[in-house]
Each structure stands twice: as C-alpha cells, then as structure tokens.
Amino acid sequence: MILSIDPDSPIPLYHQIAQALRAAIAAGELAPGDALQPMRQAAEKWGVNIHTVRHAYAALAREGLVERNRGPRGTRIAEHDRGNASRAGEIDAFLDRVRWEAAERFGMGSRSLAAALLEAAPAREADRPTVYVVECSEWQCASHTREIAARFRVHARPWPLALETEPPEGPVISTYFHYNDLRRMWPRRLGRIRFLTIYPDPALLQRLDRVSRVIVCEHDPATAGVVAADLTALCGSRQIRIDSRVTGDPAAVLRSRRGPPVLFTPRVWASLPEAVRVHPRALELRYVFDPAELQALGGAMGWEPVAAPKPTPGGRQ
C-alpha cells in the first residue's frame, strides 16, 4: 500500500489518505477485519498531524468501509457479515415492537397481523406510480432515480437514451440538456415529458477546498464547454481555474499522481474502472436536479412525499 502523499497538491491531505486506503481495500490489500494503524502511528508514517488522519478515518467510516471502535480493537475494515448481523438484530427489534403494539392496541395476534399486512401491501404498492427518468447514461439515470425515490413514494425507473426505444406509458422526466434529443426521437410524446434543471452537486465545493485549478474530463468538446460553464457558476466568487480535457482515453489524464483534481463527467466516470476511480486526483462530477423544481413537480403530479423520520425522545434523529 502506498504510504506517501503530496503535500503540495491542492487535494486535501485527508482526502489523499482516504483515497489510498480505499484503493488498498478495493485491491484486497486490506481485508475485512484488518486493523488500520492507530491514528498517532499513522500520522507519523504519513507525515501529517493526527487530526488529518482522524478526518480520513471518519470519511471512510461514513462510507461504511471501516468500523471505529474504542479500546484495543481500534479502527478496522468493515466486515459485511457483521453488518448483516447488526441489521438483522435491528429488524428483529423492530418486529417485536410491531407485534407488541398490534397486540396492545388492537388485540391482534401474529397471524392476524401478518394476514392484514399481506392484504394491504399489494394495494399500497399498486398506488405507487411509476416514473421513467431519461438521461444519456445509465449512471446518470440511476443517480436521478435515487434522488426522486428519496423524496417521493414512486417507482423511479432509469431509461438511458442508449435504449433508443420509448419508455412505456407513464410520466417521463428528463433534463433540458436533452430537450432537442427527445424532440427528435419522440416528437409525439414531447408535450408530456417534464424537463428539469440540473447542475453540479453543490457538495462538490467541499471537495475542492484549497483548490485553485481543476481539469474537466469529457469525450465531447461541446459537452465539456457546457460543464465548464456550470462549474464556473457553481464556484461563484471562488477563483478556481477550470481547464477542459477532451479525450478518448480519460485514464491517461491521471498518469501523474501530482497535479490538480480531475473532474470526470457522469458518462465518463461510469466508464472508468474502479482502479482509476480510486486515484487520489479523480473526482466524480455528479449532477443533481434543482430541488425546488423537483419538489414542485412532485406536487403537480400528486406524488406522496416520503415521510421524514420522526425525532426520538431528547431531540435526537
């Protein structure tokens, strides 16, 4: 595993460490159950302060790649079986609460509760509308369907343009970027397609802290220009130089470990192997729907919002 970082790189040091550890996990150099070095020892080997290592470990923990424990066990690579066991325990506790409440409030036994659930479930699912999300790549389609499903009780289905055929009857959502494509492909259906604005995920700015230059990697010159303009708007008053690299070999842009971050557009990112994605300079340029437009569309379509989790006693979520 590479234990060197570039202190002169605009990529944050904690991100370089986290990326190196992700690469080691992906390559099998770090297996489930393996312990990461104690933070103080890791800080000495990486040549950084302990807070930088803590930040890197915390990022991996949020992604579910490591488990952080107090005491001698320290931080270890997450084990899937252990996670499944924990989830199974949570499910058992949830079912116990449901059975208890059904018995206390309605005098229902387990069999009558199960029968009621089976009877209600099909009707409930049948009420959930299906919406088709049209984008140029499967990766971007899947990303937008997750956005919709996170907000509304709908069956959001990806429909990449590569399929070339029309989606089945039902609501269709696309982006203004593909308006002319769909006008040419499905002219009779154009009036029933709902178009939404997309822009780079604002969370990207956190990844570009201390960065003064980035490279946008794309296959198509016109698309590269549009993406560069979108990034300029996102950065606002921040002085970040944005260079475009149009190439059919995107991995070649990362041949050096030194240099500015490389932002890969969604369809380029989808084509990259995992070994390239974990490169310390590689970043996914994710696009998201305008949340206000998406919320307004859901209201106009009569979609049921996903219920927000209720706060637990004491105000904790």
4 is a domain residue: no
CATH number of the CATH domain containing 31: 1.10.10.10
CATH number of the CATH domain containing 141: 3.40.50
**220 and 262 housed in the same domain:** yes
Distance (Å, rounded) from C-alpha 103 to C-alpha 111? 11
**220 and 156 housed in the same domain:** no
316 is a domain residue: no
146 is a domain residue: yes
Going from the first residue of the chain to its last (317 residues), give the mean pLDDT of each consecutive group of 10, the final group possibly shorter: 67 80 80 89 90 87 79 74 44 68 80 73 67 88 92 92 86 91 91 92 88 93 91 89 93 88 91 87 92 93 78 47
Distance (Å, rounded) from C-alpha 62 to C-alpha 52? 16
**70 and 211 housed in the same domain:** no
310 is a domain residue: no
**Tokens in use for 125?**
């699912």
Nearest Cα to Cα of residue 283 among 221, 231, 233: 231
**280 and 210 housed in the same domain:** yes
Distance (Å, rounded) from C-alpha 250 to C-alpha 234? 23
Residue pair 281/257 in contact by the 8 Å Cβ criterion: yes
Q: What is the pTM of this model?
A: 0.59
**136 and 190 housed in the same domain:** yes
Q: Which domain holds residue 52?
A: 13-77
**Tokens in use for 203?**
């969370």
**85 and 73 housed in the same domain:** no
7 is a domain residue: no
- What is the per-residue pLDDT for 119? 66
- Give me the residue label for tokens 């998406």: 294
**187 and 58 housed in the same domain:** no
**150 and 121 housed in the same domain:** no
First to last CA, the chain: 38
**146 and 25 housed in the same domain:** no
**106 and 63 housed in the same domain:** no
117 is a domain residue: yes
Nearest Cα to Cα of residue 50 among 60, 34, 38: 38
In total, how many domains does the chain have? 4
217 is a domain residue: yes
**18 and 68 housed in the same domain:** yes
**101 and 216 housed in the same domain:** no
Nearest Cα to Cα of residue 227 among 235, 236, 218: 218
Distance (Å, rounded) from C-alpha 105 to C-alpha 88? 26
